[in-house]
Amino acid sequence: METTFSDNEQASLQITGMTCAACANRIEKGLNKLEGVSQATVNLALETAQVHFRSDSVSVPDLIKKVEQLGYHAKPKEERKISDLRDERKQEVRKQQRKLLVSAILSLPLLWAMVGHFSFTSWIWVPELFMNPWFQLVLATPVQFVIGKSFYVGAYKALRNGSANMDVLVALGTSAAYFYSLYLTFESITSHHEVEMYYETSSVLITLILMGKLFELMAKGRSSEAIKTLMGLQAKTALVVREGIESRIPIEEVLVGDLVLVKPGEKIPVDGEVVDGVTSVDESMITGESLPVDKRMGDTVIGATVNANGSLRIRAAKVGRDTVLSQIIKVVEEAQGSKAPIQRVADVISGIFVPIVVGIAIVTFLVWLFAVDSGNFSGALEKAIAVLVIACPCALGLATPTSIMAGSGRAAELGILFKGGEHLEATHRIDAVVLDKTGTVTNGKPVLTDIEGANGKDLDSILLSWIAAAERPSEHPLADAVVAGIEARGVEAVESESFQAIPGHGVTAFVAGRELLIGTRKLMGEHGVDISAAEQRMSDMEQEGKTAMLVAVDGVYAATVGVADTIKETSKQAVDRLRDLGIQVLMITGDNERTARAIAEQAGIREVLAEVLPEGKANEVKKLQVAGKKVAMIGDGINDAPALATADIGMAIGTGTDVAMEAADVTLMRGDLNSIPDAIAMSRRTMQNIKQNLFWALAYNVVGIPIAASGFLAPWLAGAAMALSSVSVVLNALRLQRVKL
């Protein structure tokens, strides 16, 4: 039995029967119109629909019914495995290949017979039988109605929904040729003289279009390579210990809380926490970071990464669709099937295209029949058919989605996850990049370097233990550094009695009955602490790029603590690359001006926004936007969420933590800032690719129609040209997969 919730539910449907973006649009609109559906998105490439709905007013069967009403098929989506995906594609390709082969064999004699029509090929011998109208009828009929059935079905569905698509044009064009030939065939019984048939027009057309579709299908298969690679990373089984018994079970059966053994050289099956063992782990497939990462008790490990040398026991923390890898796959899947705003151009054009084309075809027919070549019915028909076929906007429909798919797939391989086509598009307009300091420009692993008492001497261990106690409850990375540094000096922390974090300033705490204050100059100033004795030492540290924090006990300055965070080796190179792209680069931080400047200088950043409170970061982004900039904000995604959301593009640096992926438009799996110019370059390339596609698709139609209308294009040539244009669009898009940055 299914439980019902009054709040939102989510369902994934597997949809079949979609042929183009217009189909996806139609289903999306239909589902969104249903009472109780809050959001439905249809992914054409993956043939899925994601629906958010309220289960008290609508159910999954209702959703399916709606899809069926619109003329497509739907079923609840099952969790797919990599092998299924591959098999589905292969089957589909094989089916198309078989269809094409049969169609080609049947059409060949018709094509052969056609050579007699042209003076320059009339010397070629043609078997008598091939010229026989009845024989031609026998060959052409199955092509038209069995192999070509999908065009009729597609056309019928489109027309029933009040729209027109490429199927309408193909069905119309081929039917005209077929039925006219049929008429001539019967007429030949009575008239007894040789007439030209047009069976080859319909059959060869269908064959060529099938060929185009097959190429398209094979090319599309290649563009989802990125997802297949990701899915293939998953381990298949896990060795779990339940009630003391070890057993190897399929990965799908691992539960949260299970104890999992990972042997040396094995893939870590699920996300978890190390409970026993020491090893190093290759996380490059997830983070792009090539150096192995050391893991010991308490560390988190990510599923699909590879355990190098030690044995591990881990406690499963996330399984199934919650794992980092599954989330990455989901993001990539969604992005690949999502729409970029530029697609609207194509949608609008193809929406009005088909009716206009039918109009032009009719005019062509009438003009030829009554004006140009008076009374030549078949000649006029041939021209009209050529117009119908050449004007088919299928290349136009493919232009954007194929590029988005290939572009976002390639980006994912480079460790750049775009959440959707709109972000992939928006990124190419970025002209200002705001980098958070800690964890973005720097490694974000601050280390305690200096502790100095008020009189310049070392501190006694009592004061050290108080400082550690005050900082321990804080979640700030600086606090972690201080605590770790003090513990490393062999001092044990005591418990604090009360604690309060003051964001952007520091902490206050009561320890052993005393009030401790740790943080910035401003914090000290606000509490009336005299820090003149610390000034010199402090600014020295800051000059070196260290963060200096002041400690006061009961309102009296007691110590200066220095923490150093190193900049990432690649930060400078990345900043230079951004500047070469003509992008303004800024660094933003809550840290003080001097430290910030020192760090910025190492990274080659000239503009620094320092001492910005956490809530002020979004404001700084807005200021840049008001000044007319398209801003990308790059942060670690957790405390920078408002700024990430405000920016035109928010990029989170992270190994795919939920929060980071949630807040940002783009997730950079590598810590390396070179991902930023990479992302921008990828976006620029993709947009350029889309524009090329749109241009060629349109140009081909616009140039083709007058040629066809004036009679210079035989229908089968128009068909070949159409197939070729679709294939060339897809091939152009696939170039994105090989982009090297």
Residues that bind Cu ion (CB under 5 A): 166, 392, 394, 722
Could you say which DSSP state residue 631 is in? E
SS3 127: coil
CB of 456 to ligand ATP, least distance (A): 21
**Nearest residue (CB) to Mg ion, 240 versus 448:** 448
CB of 495 to ligand ATP, least distance (A): 17
Question: Using CA atoms, how far apart are residues 354 and 26, in angstroms rounded to an integer?
Answer: 16
Is 436 a known active-site residue? Answer: yes
Tracing tokens 């409170």 back to the chain, one arrives at 613
CB of 649 to ligand ATP, least distance (A): 19
Stretch that binds ligand ATP, among 386-394, 451-459, 512-520, 618-626 (CB under 6 A): 512-520
Tracing tokens 């406690």 back to the chain, one arrives at 315
Stretch that binds Mg ion, among 10-18, 433-441, 478-486, 615-623 (CB under 5 A): 433-441
Stretch that binds ligand ATP, among 176-184, 209-217, 518-526, 573-581 (CB under 6 A): 518-526
**Nearest residue (CB) to Cu ion, 216 versus 282:** 216
Question: Using CA atoms, how far apart are residues 741 and 739, in angstroms rounded to an integer?
Answer: 6
690 binds, among ligand ATP, Mg ion, Cu ion, none (CB under 5 to 8 A by kind): none
467 binds, among Cu ion, ligand ATP, Mg ion, none (CB under 5 to 8 A by kind): none
Q: Return the CA Rg of the chain.
A: 33
Secondary element (H or E) of residue 282: strand 279-282
Q: Which of residues 614-643 bind ligand ATP (CB under 6 A)?
A: 614
207 binds, among ligand ATP, Mg ion, Cu ion, none (CB under 5 to 8 A by kind): none
Q: Does 571 bind ligand ATP (CB under 6 A)?
A: no
Q: Does 519 bind ligand ATP (CB under 6 A)?
A: yes
519 binds, among Mg ion, ligand ATP, Cu ion, none (CB under 5 to 8 A by kind): ligand ATP
Q: Where are the alpha helices (DSSP H) in 374-460?
A: 377-390, 394-413, 421-426
CB of 319 to ligand ATP, least distance (A): 33
Q: Which listed residue (476, 629, 670, 685) binds ligand ATP by CB under 6 A?
A: 476
The active-site residue out of 271, 282, 436, 665 is 436
Task: With beta carbons less than 8 A apart as the criterion, state whether 407 and 425 touch.
Answer: no
- DSSP letter string over 689-719? HHHHHHHHHHHHHHHHHHHHHTT-S-HHHHH
CB of 437 to Mg ion, least distance (A): 7
**Nearest residue (CB) to Cu ion, 319 versus 394:** 394
**Nearest residue (CB) to Cu ion, 561 versus 722:** 722
**Nearest residue (CB) to Mg ion, 438 versus 686:** 438
SS3 292: coil
Q: Does 590 bind ligand ATP (CB under 6 A)?
A: yes
Q: Does 589 bind ligand ATP (CB under 6 A)?
A: yes
Question: Using CA atoms, how far apart are residues 233 and 242, in angstroms rounded to an integer?
Answer: 25
Q: Does 479 bind ligand ATP (CB under 6 A)?
A: yes
Secondary element (H or E) of residue 585: strand 584-588
Any idea how long the chain is?
741
Q: Which listed residue (436, 542, 648, 672) binds ligand ATP by CB under 6 A?
A: 436
Which residue has the closest beta carbon to ligand ATP? 590
Name the residue among 152, 264, 151, 133 with its Cα closest to residue 196.
Answer: 133
Name the residue among 526, 524, 564 with its Cα closest to residue 548.
Answer: 564
30 binds, among ligand ATP, Mg ion, Cu ion, none (CB under 5 to 8 A by kind): none
Q: Which of residues 511-550 bind Mg ion (CB under 5 A)?
A: none
Size of residue set near ligand ATP by CB under 6 A: 21
Task: With beta carbons less than 8 A apart as the criterion, state whether 730 and 220 touch.
Answer: yes
**Nearest residue (CB) to Cu ion, 20 versus 507:** 20
Q: Which listed residue (19, 202, 438, 726) binds Mg ion by CB under 5 A?
A: 438
Interaction pattern, residues 527-556, with ligand ATP; x per rule: CB under 6 A:
--------------------x-x-------
Hey, what amino acid is at 73? H
> What burial class does residue 650 get, using C-beta atoms within 10 Å of its C-beta: 0-12 exposed, 13-18 middle, 19+ buried?
buried
Burial 230-252 (b: 16+ CB within 10 A, else e): bbebbbebbbbeeeeeeeebebe
CB of 471 to ligand ATP, least distance (A): 6
**Nearest residue (CB) to Cu ion, 166 versus 509:** 166
**Nearest residue (CB) to Mg ion, 234 versus 438:** 438
CB of 397 to Cu ion, least distance (A): 9
SS3 19: coil
CA distances from 715 to 377, 600, 722 (A): 15, 65, 10
394 binds, among Cu ion, Mg ion, ligand ATP, none (CB under 5 to 8 A by kind): Cu ion
Question: Using CA atoms, how far apart are residues 257 and 273, in angstroms rounded to an integer?
Answer: 10
Q: Which of residues 666-705 bind ligand ATP (CB under 6 A)?
A: none
Beta strand pairing call for 271-276 and 300-301: antiparallel
Q: Can you read off the two tokens belonging to residue 148?
A: 């070509």
Burial 14-47 (b: 16+ CB within 10 A, else e): bbebbbbbbbbbbbbebbeebebbeebbbbbbbb
Burial 114-125 (b: 16+ CB within 10 A, else e): bebeeeeeeeee
Q: Does 505 bind ligand ATP (CB under 6 A)?
A: yes
**Nearest residue (CB) to Cu ion, 388 versus 412:** 388
**Nearest residue (CB) to ligand ATP, 204 versus 478:** 478
Q: Which residues bind ligand ATP (CB under 6 A)?
A: 436-438, 471, 474, 476, 478-479, 504-507, 518-520, 547, 549, 589-591, 614
Q: Which residues bind Mg ion (CB under 5 A)?
A: 438
- Where in the sequence numbering do the catalytic residues fall? 436
